[in-house]
Amino acid sequence: MNKIWVIGLGPGHPDYMLPIAKRKLLQAKRVYGGKRHLETYNMKGDKVQIKIPLFETIEDIKSNYRLNQTAVLVSGDTGFYSFLEMLKEHFSEDELETYPGISSLQYLFSKLNMSYHNAYIGSVHGRAIDDEEFRNYNIMGLLTDKKQGPKELMDKLRKLDLSATLFIGENLSYSTEKITAIHTSEEIERTYSSLCVVVIKFD
Ligand SMILES: C[S@@+](CC[C@H](N)C(=O)[O-])C[C@H]1O[C@@H](n2cnc3c(N)ncnc32)[C@H](O)[C@@H]1O
């Protein structure tokens, strides 16, 4: 029986995709993914853009995956805030096969020559983090979004009277990649890309 391959693409540039994931993607007959991903990566199968609300895409996968080897593309790593959790609500363990990728946060930590084994790793993308977490860690790595970006994190740190350096990684691994550092004592003077992760290093 065909399993649905859930493939982690890494941060965005195909150089950062694992070889086994690249091979699986080339073998897939039907590939579900975001527009940017379907345009960027090398594949031979039919491309199907993932739609919001996601249940339409789920229904489409349900009616096709048994006949055509199906792959679902997710950004970064499959195990870190990806579409995998939603797929698990609709398909059994036996129906899914996962190929990991490099997370956007892993990539930023590597660019900063920093380890993350003692860091708080999480997300403010559509969720909130307890104030206590900001006080409990020396280093944090966070996914962000349009509503909760570097500026909002800076405001939060100031409100909690914490001083730190924010390392901001925008469009990581793309030609437009920008990694900048700003301290809580400085003012943010520009807007950041919505494709952005932040590492916070407390003083
Ligand atoms: C739905 S989450 C997916 C996270 C992904 N599974 C991972 O491991 O990186 C989307 C968030 O990932 C981050 N992200 C993904 N790719 C990125 C990139 N190339 N540059 C900066 N941030 C990225 C952004 O914070 C974005 O809002």
Q: Confirm if 38 and 99 have CB atoms less than 8 A apart.
A: no
List the one residue out of 193, 188, 196, 9 whose CA is nearest residue 98: 9
Residue 96 to residues 16, 23, 24, 51, 72: CA-CA distances in angstroms? 23, 17, 13, 20, 10
Predicted pLDDT of residue 52: 85
The residue nearest atom 21 of ligand 1, judged by CA position, is 196
Residue 148 CB–ligand 1 contact under 6 Å:
no
**Mean pLDDT over each residue of the chain, to the nearest integer:** 96
Residue 77 CB–ligand 1 contact under 6 Å:
yes
Atom of ligand 1 nearest to the CA of 145: 27
Predicted pLDDT of residue 165: 98
SS3 content of the chain, % helix, strand, coil (to 5): 30, 25, 45
Predicted pLDDT of residue 1: 82
Structural domains in the chain, CATH included, are 4-102 (3.40.1010.10), 105-202 (3.30.950.10)
In degrees rounded to 5, what are phi and psi of residue 148? -120, 90
Atom of ligand 1 nearest to the CA of 143: 25
Using CB atoms within 10 Å of the CB of residue 197, give its burial: 0 to 12 exposed, 13 to 18 middle, 19+ buried: buried
Residue 193 CB–ligand 1 contact under 6 Å:
no
In the three-class reduction of DSSP (H, G, I as helix; E, B as strand; rest coil), residue 59 is classed as helix
Question: Please, what is the Cα angle at 39 between 141 and 17, to 5 degrees?
Answer: 45
Task: Report whether pLDDT(184) > 90.
Answer: yes
Residue 82 CB–ligand 1 contact under 6 Å:
yes
Q: Which amino acid is at 14?
A: P
Tens digits of residue pLDDT in 44-88: 999 999 988 888 999 999 999 999 999 999 999 999 999 999 999
Residue 28 to residues 8, 21, 60, 173, 200: CA-CA distances in angstroms? 14, 11, 16, 25, 39
Tens digits of residue pLDDT in 149-172: 999 999 999 999 999 999 999 999
Question: Please, what is the Cα angle at 153 between 16 and 195, to 5 degrees?
Answer: 30
Predicted pLDDT of residue 162: 98
Predicted pLDDT of residue 53: 86
Tens digits of residue pLDDT in 97-147: 999 999 999 999 999 999 999 999 999 998 889 999 999 999 999 999 999
Atom of ligand 1 nearest to the CA of 144: 25
If one compares 122 and 40, the residue with the highest pLDDT of the two is 122
